[in-house]
Structure 1
Amino acid sequence: MNFLKFGKNNIIAIMQNQTFKYNDLLYIDFFSKRKELIMILCRNNIEILSAYISAINSGHAVMLLTNDINRELLHNIVEQYKPKWIVGITEFEGYELKGSLLTRDEFYEYTIHSDLAVLLSTSGTTGSKKFVRLSYMNVQANAKSIIQYLGIDQHERAIMNLPMSYSYGLSIVNSHLLAGATLILTEESIMEKSFWQLVREQEATSLAGVPFTYQMLQRIGFMKMELPHLKTMTQAGGRLNEKLVKAFGEYAQQNDKRFFVMYGQTEASPRMSYIPHDCLLDKIGSIGISIPGGELSLDSETSELIYKGANVMMGYAECLEDLAKADEMDGILNTGDIATVDSDGYFTITGRLKRFIKLFGLRINLDEVEKRLETVIHVPIACTGDDNKLIVVLESVKLIEKVKESIEQYYKLHHTAYKVKILKELPRLANEKIDYMKLKELCL
């Protein structure tokens, strides 16, 4: 299913003031008589975008990894999955460089399921060999939903600053390619003046970001910039502080722009819900309603959020043999998030099933603690701990007393039951989410 094909006259990518049409990006020939695995170490450039499009359209399965992946982990993944080709590096033991491709010297007998299109690491397993298996149908269904609710057409020009190896970044690529829209590729930081020069010169119409992106946008004075062509902003990749949701929602409303807060998981290709931009200020704190073609519900016993849709993954892979597996999910995903739903059908995440500790018999929801404390101190905060102690981690020593007062006020905890710790920087994953495994290592 070559779901990325569209009008050949469209300009689909721009980099360093060069424009590329669809046919310009189909020069890599992954020829093989059987279905193979292609590993791509991703960067936001033409070569990698071309490799991705060529790989998908060749009918092979593609594994996307960040280009700065730990080399020991990369070696372990290659050993485990034995990709036929590797794109993005020029040498690797057991592979020969042929043109722009590293090709495996040794032949291995294995089977890859005919539906398997993409393998992505989940946001929480960047140090793992576990991958989400996505089918052609999964990726196409989600891209179509995103096109529908964001209103993407061939006139859109998205600034592509998120990594392609991250499901949010890849969803921008897939939805814009399918719509015949343009991608403006860059690896520059939003903190650089040259990034905003590119946005203006190329008349970017949309900008995507994770919570950390929007924290930085506020810091650099984004709301005072003259960006007449930028009409759409999207946010996903974790919960954005409600104060910032309100600030950017009001900015969008006052400046004829649209701000979408969205929710998803890599396991859902990745979008599951969104708040319509004209309802955002009335539904701050919620994750919104289901995307077109999807369905959200709550488990009657646990209040776990359940998603149903054609974009739900085939299942996980932890070894080469798993690539032969068929769909194991039947379109149903237990998200692991606990939620509520209001009378308008808008869902709100209240915590994670596994993000709990128990202190003196009291069940403490770490996500709920973070959310409440952020409303008091208005800066990034992270919580970890065990059944002996709650640990609240900050980046500013000035706020320690305020946090302690809030903990005792809201949770009535004795001072021996919690600890406030200062780190220079909260540990983050490649996609800027809090790295809770690292946080726990540093604090316990």
Structure 2
Amino acid sequence: MREKMYFWNIEKDDERIAIIDQNDSKLTYGNLFEKVQMMKDCLPDSSRKRLGLILCQNQAFPIMAYLAALQRQDAVMLLDEKLDEALLLNIVNTYKPDWIFSVDRKPEFPSSYKFSDHTFFQIWTNHTNEEMDSIHPDLAVLLSTSGTTGSAKFVRLSYQNLQANAESIVNYLPITTNERAITTLPMQYSYGLSVINSHLLAQGPLILTDASMLSKEFWSLFHEHNVTSFAGVPYTYQMLQRLRFEKMDLPSLRYFTQAGGRLAPTLVDYFAKCAHDKGVQFFVMYGQTEATARISYVPPERILEKKESIGVPIPNGKLWVDEDTSELLYEGPNVMMGYAETRQDLAKGDELNGLLHTGDLGRVDNGGFFYITGRMKRFIKLFGLRLNLDDIEKRIEQQQGIVVACVGNDDRLLVFLENGDLLEPVKQDILKVYKLHPSVVKVSAVSKLPRFENGKINYNKLKDL
């Protein structure tokens, strides 16, 4: 690893391959350096720190825009290129970014935004006359706290957060300049972004694709470019088991990783044995966007004896269980600065000082391996994306004008209504907005939602239903 070199400062004359896209176009790190400089010239003048918004795809141009923003010291929000337009406009109206980048989408932004077409991508510049609030100099990236829900709540990550997490990952994963990782996760998702950051730090090639791991196209790319690693969330591994991963011939594979939610012990066992038989390594990990993606990992040689564990802290991190509340607490240089819900919040400094209350309940065994035993907050993870159940309830209530209650786990979202006529409209709205598969959403009608004496919904009773 380059000493004291930030991953976004690409070296000018490096002839090693940096990016291979799904059209087989190749960029060396030297080429990437030049492209990023050109991208910086396309963005608004950098006389002050600005807020950018990138509509992300796993393609070269969004990565160039991301690196350009980091080099310019602009703060940048990363969102899904396919995010529902109403949700996107809500975020734009809330934060009023100074510039917006997209490869090929052309939403109707407010009239204060001036559009410019650059052949391979588009940029909108905010020409509003109002004085924009200042942005804290340490603020680098804003990531959504709730996947594709379009919530205006974002995690504020500093340059130190990004760099520290990338360094830790390169430290415990076998990432070298010969590593050839393929993108299996969205760029705007903290886990997916951490793969990009860590491989840029190690100066290894990235094979970029948005193709599903269930498609022939994905595996053709995998074999063509001798991919050595991939990352996945629990749903990924459920699908790979159905594809009979144990039978797949993957001679170039060196290791694979899992995070984004709890993987069932039976699947941990299955993939650990697959890894052993293939002579590769399997890493089970735990993390949160609030910690720039990674908090702990299970060393591959201990995976079969620690199938239900989230492992040990990543290098330079500390993990422990609060004696009074049983909450897992994490401390490290990758802990976020805090949250943002308005443009004004971007001026705030580091509010956490490296200490994160994870919201997960846990325990630690005699060997120093940690386990999650429950959650303190109302959120679930589906397909690796965290969904705040309270946010979903509020949105449905605002849209439909009805009372609704949501419960669930990492396998399914359950929605309860008191109006049976709206079951299908509510389900279709949820599928459209949150980009979920129909199999993981169930909407049911009840005559009356169960409540406590104080009028609050009894979610435990709903779970029993």
DSSP-derived class of the 2:358 partner: strand
CA contact (8 A) 1:3 1:136 kept: no
TM-score by length of 2: 0.77
State the Cα RMSD in Å.
Answer: 3.2
Asked if 1:103 is matched to 2:125, the reply is: yes
SS of residue matched to 2:69 = helix
Q: Which whole-Å CA distance do the structure 1 matches of 2:67 and 2:314 have between them?
A: 25
Q: Cα deviation per residue 1:181-201 (whole Å; 9 max; x = unaligned)?
A: 111000111111111010000
- The letter for the 1-side match of 2:46 is S
Residue 307 of structure 2 is aligned to residue 292 of structure 1: no
Matched residue SS, 1:133: strand
Confirm whether residue 135 of structure 1 aligns to residue 158 of structure 2.
yes
The question of whether the paired residues in 2 share the 8 Å contact of 1:337 and 1:349 is answered with yes
Name the residue aligned to 1:375: none
Quickly say closer, same or farther: Cα 1:429–1:165, change in 2 above 3 A: farther
What is the correspondence of 1:113-192 to structure 2 with a 5 Å cutoff?
A: 113-123=136-146, 126-192=149-215
| TM-score, reference length from structure 1 | 0.81
Task: Report the residue type matching 1:63 in the other structure.
Answer: M
Give the corresponding residue for 1:242: 265
Q: Which residue of 2 aligns with 1:4?
A: 8
Q: How far 1:6 moved relative to its partner?
A: 4.2
Matches within 5 A, 1:35-114: 35-88=49-102, 89-91=105-107, 92-93=109-110, 94-98=112-116, 99=118, 100-107=122-129, 108-114=131-137
Contact 2:52 2:69 in 1 (8 A): yes
Aligned AA for 1:96?
K
Report what 2:455 is aligned to: none
Aligned pair count reads 390
**Native 8 Å contact 2:95 2:342 kept in 1:** yes
SS of the equivalent of 1:281 reads: coil
Matched, 1:19 2:26: yes
1:65 counterpart SS class: strand
The partner residue of 2:283 within 257, 260, 263 is 260
Match of 1:220 in 2: 243
CA deviations over 1:314-372 (Å, ceiling 9, x no partner): 0000000000000000100000000010000000001001359xxxxxxxxx99xxxxx
How far, CA to CA, are the matches of 2:346 and 2:172 in structure 1? 32
| Contact 1:11/1:182 (8 A) holds in 2 | yes
Q: Distance in 2 between matches of 1:111 and 1:210?
A: 37
**For the Cα contact (< 8 Å) 1:159–1:183, is it kept in 2?**
yes
Q: Summarize the Cα distance change of 1:245–1:79 in structure 2 as closer, same or farther, 3 Å threshold.
A: same
Q: In 1, are the aligned partners of 2:161 and 2:333 still within 8 Å (CA)?
A: yes
C-alpha distance 196-393 of structure 1, shift in aligned 2 (>3 A): closer
Shift of 1:96: 1.5
Closer, same or farther in 2 for the Cα pair 1:11/1:216, shift >3 Å? Answer: same
Q: Does structure 2 retain, via aligned residues, the 8 Å contact 1:6–1:178?
A: no
Judged with a 3 Å threshold, the aligned counterparts in structure 2 of structure 1 residues 168 and 430 are, in CA distance, closer, same or farther, namely: farther
Rounded to whole Å, the distance in 2 between the matches of 1:155 and 1:173 is: 15
Cα offset, 1:55, TM superposition? 1.2
Point out where structure 2 has 5 or more consecutive residues left out of the alignment. Answer: 382-388, 391-404, 413-426, 450-465
1:440, CA displacement in angstroms?
Answer: 7.7
2:338 alignment partner AA: G
Please tell me whether the aligned partners of residues 262 and 410 of structure 2 are also in contact (alpha carbons under 8 angstroms): no
Asked whether the 8 Å contact 2:49–2:135 carries over to 1, the reply is: yes
Matched to 2:360, the amino acid is: D
Q: How does 1:287-436 map to 2 (within 5 A)?
A: 287-354=310-377
1:28 to 39, 58, 74: 39
Overall identity of the aligned pairs, in %: 48
Q: Comparing 147-156 with 103-112, which one deviates more in the overlay? A: 103-112
Shift of 1:306: 0.1
Contact persistence 2:155–2:338 (CA under 8 A): yes
SS of structure 2 residue aligned to 1:282: coil
One-letter code of the match for 2:229?
Answer: S
Shift of 1:126: 2.5
Q: Distance in 2 between matches of 1:435 and 1:6?
A: 43
User: Residue 5 of structure 1: CA displacement?
Assistant: 2.0
SS at 1:306 equivalent: strand
CA contact (8 A) 1:166 1:431 kept: no
d(CA) in 1 for partners of 2:343, 2:46: 18
Post-superposition offset of 1:57: 1.1
Q: Distance in 2 between matches of 1:241 and 1:434?
A: 21
How far off is 1:90 after superposition? Answer: 3.6
Q: How is 1:197-208 mapped onto 2 (pairs within 5 angstroms)? A: 197-208=220-231
- In structure 2, the CA distance between the partners of 1:330 and 1:428, relative to structure 1 (3 Å rule), is farther
Q: Distance in 2 between matches of 1:242 and 1:252?
A: 15
Aligned counterparts of 1:84 and 1:391: Cα–Cα separation in 2: 38
Deviation per residue, 1:375-428 (Å, 9 max, x gap):
xxxxxxxx99xxx99989989xxxxxxxxxxxxxxxxxxxxxxxxxxx99x979
- For each residue in 1:114-168, what CA deviation from the matched residue of structure 2 results, as whole angstroms up to 9, or x when unmatched? 0000000013672310000000000100000000100211100001121001000
Cα distance, 1:253 vs. partner? 1.1
State how far apart, in whole Å, the 2-side matches of 1:163 and 1:392 are.
Answer: 22
Distance 1:429 1:231, change over 3 A: farther
Unaligned runs of 5+ in 1: 357-365, 368-382, 396-422
**Partner SS, residue 337 of structure 1:** strand
1:292 alignment partner AA:
P
Q: For the residues of structure 2 that align with 1:392 and 1:144, how far apart are their CA atoms?
A: 32
